[in-house]
Structure 1
Amino acid sequence: MTRPPAGPPSEDPGEQPGRNAVPETPVFQPGRAKSAGSKPGGSKPSAAVPDRDVLLTTRQRRRSARDERRQARDAAYELRQQRKKSKDGTSWRGHHIVDSEGLAEAFPDPESPELPSSTVRRRITHGVTLVLLLALVVAAVVLAGMVQRGELELKLGAGRPTPTPESCPAEKLDYPANKTVTVNVYNGGSLEGKAGQVAEELKKRGYPVKDIDNKSTDYGAPTVVVSGPAGHAAAFNMQRNFASSEYVQDDRADGTVDIILTSRFNGLVPPPKVDQTPGVLSCPRLSPPPSEPAATKAAGTPAAAP
């Protein structure tokens, strides 16, 4: 009786091969393959059977890959759980968190040493200086407000010398002819064209008119008559033609007369009512006041209409 050839040890007799059981692959034995596969007549031996590990089925490879992925997920989950358990609030993303106690330990409060006397004096000087600067700024703001409101008037530099008041000419003057009086007419009011109208009226009365322009004045009379010492008679003539006029003397050398019409000007004296009798100039702003008003007439002659 012939015994069967010895083969690999068999699996557990109680284990039944299932669906996914790996079929047994015959083991290649060179001696046996040669005797079994050789035939009389010198035929070629059959091809060698590859190793068992190389002949894994596709289903086994997939199962192995799934097992590896499952193990990787389990390992990552365990690692996360360990990290959560190990958190103590002093680190975040690998960086150490410093709390107030740590800061106090790292940067302790320095001891306050006694300051030297020079430092104390310097600080006191700085404080006093700042207080003085603040006081100067406040005073400047208050003064600026007072000047702006007109409560305070600042005069910078040397003031102008006060001119010696001139006395009003007191000589008695004759009324000169109109054609001998050269007149400059200026508009000192707000009504335009007034100087031109008065100049035309004076030309009709025979006065030579030289200049016609605008000019301001500080006097409040309806008409201001201005001339030099040589023009007293011509100014007297003009005052008789302009009612309520005021005479002002300047330092001009010729005998021309300036007529400045203010906003209160209300017209010339009509030619028939012009007083041509001798008299004196009317200059109430000068001292002493005139001895006889220029607008009055001789006894028995009615006064000129305003």
Structure 2
Amino acid sequence: MSEHGSPRHQRAQAKQDPTEWHGQRIVTETDLGAVFGEDDADRHRRVPLRKIFHGVVLVLLVGLVTAAVYFAVGITRGDISISMGAPETAAPEPTPTCPAGPFDYQDPSSVNVNVYNSTSMDGLATTAATQLRGRAFAVREVGNRPVGRTGMTAIIVSGEAGRDNAFTLQRTIPDTIYVTDERKDRTVDVVVGSGYAGVIPPERVDITPAGLTCAPKDGTPAPAASPTAP
């Protein structure tokens, strides 16, 4: 056996090689770099992506805060208004010049009427609706409708097309006030107040053509009427 192949020679060489220990190879920093070098490079590439993502999030948050401040200031100043729920029907304004007519008394069965209670008295609208049905009026809706006046008998509300019908109701319910609105059909609203005492007896109804009454006897203007859910 040659001296280079002898066990003694191999042990001597092993002692001279710093990467081996008792026949086992020692993992060096170079070996670790070769294995994990690619992962470190990927990690370094991901760092700028995280910074970009954080920057975008920060910009969005700043934008949201700015928009919220602007919205709050707009609401406070009245530049921005919020409408909740379904849009409300615009409150009719008192008729500036009372329609002089003359208007003709109509067959009550042809008059579609909605009856509303403007008071805290339970059942007042139901009572009025029953009396109007007894006179053959076509009562449709019965509910509540607050107005800015107390002690009145009733407010009669219609559009221009329903003025004959409104006149018919004014002749049926005494001491009522006429108010116009923008509706296009011929329906009429009757808003009863605490002064409501019923309808005029049939034999006393004056069916002579005439104008509408737009102010109570004391001469004060008619209040606007704004509907609410029944």
- TM-score with structure 1 setting the length: 0.39
Conserved 8 A contact 2:95-2:180:
no
Which of these residues, 185, 192, 203, is aligned with residue 272 of structure 1? 203
Deviations 1:250-303, CA, capped at 9 Å, x for gaps: 001111000001112122111211111111100028xxx9xxxxxxxxxxxxxx
Give matches, 1:90-101, under 5 Å: none
Q: Post-superposition shift, 1:164?
A: 10
The residue aligned with 2:193 is 262
Q: Is residue 216 from structure 1 mapped to residue 146 from structure 2 by the alignment?
A: yes
Aligned to 2:112: 182
From 144, 169, 180, the equivalent of 2:99 is: 169
1:191 aligns to 2:148 (yes or no):
no
Q: Which runs of 5+ in 1 are unaligned?
A: 1-155, 290-306
- The CA distance in 1 between the partners of 2:196 and 2:106, in whole Å, is 24
Cα deviation 1:89-139 (Å, max 9, x = unaligned): xxxxxxxxxxxxxxxxxxxxxxxxxxxxxxxxxxxxxxxxxxxxxxxxxxx
Cα distance, 1:194 vs structure 2? 1.1
Counterpart of 2:182, as a letter, is D
String of CA shifts for 1:221-273, please: whole Å, max 9, x gaps: 31100000100000000000111100000001111000001112122111211
Q: Give the deviation of 1:219 after TM superposition.
A: 3.5
Query: In 2, distance between residues paired with 1:175 and 1:263?
Result: 26
Distance in 1, Cα, partners of 2:158 & 2:118: 17
What is residue 200 of structure 1 aligned with on the other side? 130
Q: What RMSD in Å do the two structures reach over aligned CA positions? A: 2.4
Conserved? CA contact 2:95–2:178, under 8 Å: no
Structure 2 unaligned runs (5+)? 1-76, 80-92, 221-230
Identity across matched positions, percent: 37
CA, structure 1 residues 219+179, in 2 after alignment: closer, same or farther (shift >3 Å)?
same
Whether the 8 Å contact between 2:94 and 2:179 is mirrored in structure 1 is: no
Q: What CA distance in whole angstroms lies between the structure 2 residues aligned with 1:165 and 1:279? A: 16
1:22-171 correspondence runs (5 A): 157=78, 166-171=96-101
Shift of 1:196: 0.9
The one-letter code matched in structure 1 to 2:215 is: P
State the distance in 2 between where 1:177 and 1:166 align. Answer: 28
Alignment partner, residue 160 of structure 2: 229
Q: Give me the whole-angstrom Cα distance separating, in 2, the residues matched to 1:165 and 1:278.
A: 19
**In 2: Cα distance, 1:281 partner to 1:236 partner:** 6
Higher strand share: 2
Pair member with larger Rg: 1
Aligned residues: 128
- When normalised by structure 2's length, the TM-score is 0.51
Partner of 2:127, secondary structure, is: helix
Is the contact made by 2:171 and 2:206 (CA closer than 8 Å) also made in structure 1?
yes
Give distance in 2, aligned partners of 1:270 and 1:217: 27
Decide whether aligned partners of structure 1 residues 267 and 164 sit closer, same or farther in structure 2, where only a CA change above 3 A counts: closer
Q: Which runs of 4+ in 1 moved over 2 A?
A: 163-166
Which residue type is aligned with residue 190 of structure 1?
S
For 2:205 and 2:94, the matched residues in 1 are separated by 34
Per-residue displacement from partner, 1:63-109 (whole Å, max 9, x unpaired)?
xxxxxxxxxxxxxxxxxxxxxxxxxxxxxxxxxxxxxxxxxxxxxxx
Q: Distance in 1 between matches of 2:115 and 2:95?
A: 26
Q: Which residue of 2 aligns with 1:239?
A: 170
Cα distance, 1:266–1:165 mapped onto 2, change above 3 Å: closer
